[in-house]
Structure 1
C-alpha cells in the first residue's frame, strides 16, 4: 500500500466543504478504480464506487505522483 498524502487544499477546503467524505474512501478509490484518466495540470482523476456511500461514485483527483490527494467529490454524472 502506498503512503498517501493530502494537499493543504484537500485538508482545509475539501474536508471542510464535504465533511461526509472519508480519507479511507479516497484511498479505496485510488487502489481500486473503475476508471482513471489524466487531467490538465499534471493531475490524475480516479473514479470508484463506494458501497458505504450508498453505492455512489466518488471522483478523486491526485497530483502527478498519483499518491497526493488534492480533491474528491461525488460524481453524479459518471458514465463508464
Structure 2
C-alpha cells in the first residue's frame, strides 16, 4: 500500500513532534488496535509503538485511509 501525507502533517506535525517516525504511523494503520471514523470522514487508528515503551500512537488519516494527516501519542487511550 502506498501512503501519502498532507501538507499539515509534513509542515506542522513533523516539525512540532520531531520524534515521530512515518514508519510508526504506517505500522499503526496496518496493525491497529482500534479504528474509528470521525464525523468529518477522517479515520482514527490507534496502535502500540513498542520502541517507545509501548505508548499508544493515534494516527488520523483522510477518508481514503492512506493519506496521513495527524499523529500523536495518546496518553488518554486505554485498552
* TM-score of the superposed pair, with normalisation by structure 1: 0.96
What is aligned with 1:68?
67
Displacement after TM superposition at 1:44 (Å): 0.3
Equivalent residues in 2 for 1:1-80 (5 A)?
2-80=1-79
Residue-by-residue CA offset, 1:47-78 (whole Å, 9 max, x unaligned) = 00000111100000000000000000000000
Aligned CA-pair RMSD: 0.6
Give SS of 1:27's match.
helix
2: distance between equivalents of 1:42 and 1:34?
19
Report runs of 4+ in structure 1 exceeding 6 Å deviation.
none
* TM-score of the superposed pair, with normalisation by structure 2: 0.97
- For structure 1, list consecutive stretches of 5 or more residues without a partner in the other structure: none
Alignment length, in residue pairs?
79
